[in-house]
Amino acid sequence: MRRIVVAFASLVLVLSACTSNNTESAQPSSSASGADACAKDSLNLIKPGQLTVGTDNPSYPPWIVANTPENGKGFEGSLAYAVADRLGFAKDEVRWVDVPFNSAGTAGPKNFDFDINNITVTPERATVVTFSDGYYDLSQALVTMADSPLASATTLADLKGYKYGAQIGTTSLTFIAQTIAPGPQPAVYDTTNDAKQALVNGQVDGLILDLPTAYYVSSVQIPGSKLVGQFEPQEYLGMLFEKDNPLVTCVNEALAGLKADGTLETLQQKWLADYLSVPVIK
């Protein structure tokens, strides 16, 4: 009887060891699991094997060049392809879709995997969409006509009493109301093109735009206008996702890699460095 008991106990120990070893081998390490989750075939995408990226139409330099994001030129155009490459996508596996700025940040399903469109990360927007980590610290700036009294403004106090315009749904509008607090209510426009035309027509005294856009508007698009100055950075840009889309984790990993190897800084210097010398209005 003792021999049978000993033999049975030995068998139990052997089976337990085998079960333990099999369980451990079946459990992937946390690092392997994370890597697999960001493998190209594992990504949560609108269309498998294709990265769908949204941006506004029209879009402008220095963000997108020639209103053609497919050319990979401009800061956001080139950054989108750099992220795509990190995720394992060839250039011809990236598809761009038109996404009006005002609709990108609304709640609900999206027709893109992420949207890249000068979108400032705010707590209010983050209640209905998800943002990536920041990829650029952004300043607001003032554009007016060169013959306007505003053209010589150097302080926030100099900006009082004038009428400003900005695109609907932008943080530029918030900046006018909360930081400039000019007195007259700002004029709100459906697009930046409409706001620019209002300045040309004399319907507003100045436009508040993000600095790179303001630079382009004043130097290329509106003859006789002036970029008066920029304001100290208060914002940062992030890529926008449908709320709680797990793809954001992999995009953040890609952005971290682009920061670590210097690619992000190189792209900023290539496309945005011209704007760093603009005077600051305080």
pLDDT of residue 23: 29
- pTM for the model stands at 0.75
pLDDT of residue 2: 34
pLDDT of residue 276: 67
- Report in angstroms the alpha-carbon separations of 175 from 66, 139, 235: 28, 10, 11
In the chain, the N- to C-terminal Cα span, in Å, equals 94
Token duo for residue 233: 């950075």
Which secondary-structure segment (H or E) carries 140?
Answer: strand 140-145
pLDDT of residue 24: 31
pLDDT along the chain (282 residues), means of 10: 35 35 32 68 95 95 95 97 98 97 93 96 96 95 97 97 95 94 96 96 97 92 96 92 98 98 96 83 94
pLDDT of residue 205: 98
pLDDT of residue 206: 98
Which secondary-structure segment (H or E) carries 17?
Answer: helix 2-26
pLDDT of residue 102: 85
Kindly give the interhelix angle for 75-87 and 247-260, rounded to the nearest 10 degrees.
110
pLDDT of residue 11: 34
Strands 225-230 and 140-145: antiparallel
pLDDT of residue 153: 97
pLDDT of residue 31: 37
Domains of the chain: 40-137+236-275 (3.40.190.10), 140-231 (3.40.190.10)
